[in-house]
Amino acid sequence: MNSLHYARTERRTVCLADVRVTKPHSMRLIDVNTLKLHEFFGDQIPPYAILPHTWEAEEVTYEEWLYDGRQYPWRWGWVYDEEEVDNIKSKTGYHKIAQACLKAQGDSLSLAEVRS
C-alpha cells in the first residue's frame, strides 16, 4: 500500500520515505482540490504531500493527466473526448492519485507530488 510522506521544510524538500534532501529548481504539483497541475520554481515551492509509488499496469501518463484536466496545449491538436476521459479516469493509477489527493486534503495540504 502506498503512503503519503510530507515535505514541510523551507527551501528544500524532505522525503521521509528515504530521508533524502534535495533542492529542486522547479516542480509540477497537483492541486488536490481541482486535480490540475501547477508549476512552482525555486523558493516559491510550497509544502506538499508526496505519493511515492512504483509503476504498475494502468498508470496515468503526464499527457493523460493534462488531457483529463483540460490543461493540454491547443497547439497539440487534441480534441476533448468524454469517452477518452472516462478511460483515463477508470485506470487504477488515476484512482490511486485521486485518493492520495483526498488524503492530502484531510491533512490540510493543498498540493501533492506523484513520485515514480
pLDDT digits (tens, 9 = 90+) for 48-101: 999 887 778 889 888 888 888 887 666 556 677 888 889 999 999 999 999 999
Task: Name the residue with cell 500500500.
Answer: 1
By C-alpha distance, which of 37, 60, 67 is closest to 116? 60
Closest among 93, 49, 51 to 68, alpha carbons compared:
93
10: left (phi over 0), alpha (psi -120 to 50) or beta: beta
**More confident site: 110 or 12:** 110
Q: What is the domain partition of the chain in residue ranges?
A: 5-115
Predicted confidence at residue 38, as pLDDT, reads 92
Per-residue pLDDT at 23: 58
DSSP H or E run through 112: strand 111-115
Q: All 3 cell numbers of residue 65?
A: 493527466
